[in-house]
Amino acid sequence: MARYDVFHTDCPARDVVDHVTSRWGTWVLISLRRNDLRFYELRESIHGISEKMLAQTLRALVQDGLVWRKVEPSTPPQVSYGLTEFGREVGEPLTELFDRITRWLPPREAA
């Protein structure tokens, strides 16, 4: 079985790596690590992300097979997102990195 060469510009795996490591891709994967979330819950969990950027990021991650999207036929429609098995596999080291960084940072002073 041939391996992907992510250093080659036309490698399909490179796009997935770009989406996961994008400014917001990492935060979406980390936010979904414990629970499935609706769009607005996800937006509220990631401070600083706009609706437009969240929608674009989710679209890319769904297309890559990292995140699933479920639409409930209601008025208004309720859209939920969660990690696929592939998304959990990719998100695990990101979560570990996040946890290591926060453990090693000095304690924050109360504001």
The HSE-up count of residue 33 (CA atoms within 13 Å, CB side) is: 16
Lookup: tokens for 96: 């570990």
pLDDT tens digits, one per residue of 35-84: 999 999 999 999 999 999 999 999 999 999 999 999 998 988 899 999 99
Q: Domain 12-95, CATH 3.40.50.720 — does that match?
A: no
pLDDT value at position 37? 97
Contacts of 107 (CB under 8 A, 6+ apart): none
Q: Is the pLDDT of residue 30 over 60?
A: yes
pTM: 0.86
Flag whether pLDDT at 11 surpasses 90.
Answer: no
Average pLDDT, the chain: 92
pLDDT category of residue 111 using cuts at 50, 70 and 90: low
CA atoms of 100 and 66, how far apart (whole Å)? 23
CA dihedral sign of residues 34, 39, 45, 46? positive
> Is the distance from CB of 27 to CB of 49 less than 8 angstroms?
yes
pLDDT confidence tier of residue 110, bands split at 50, 70 and 90 = low
Comparison of pLDDT for 1 and 43, the residue scoring more = 43
Residue 77 tokens read as 């429609």
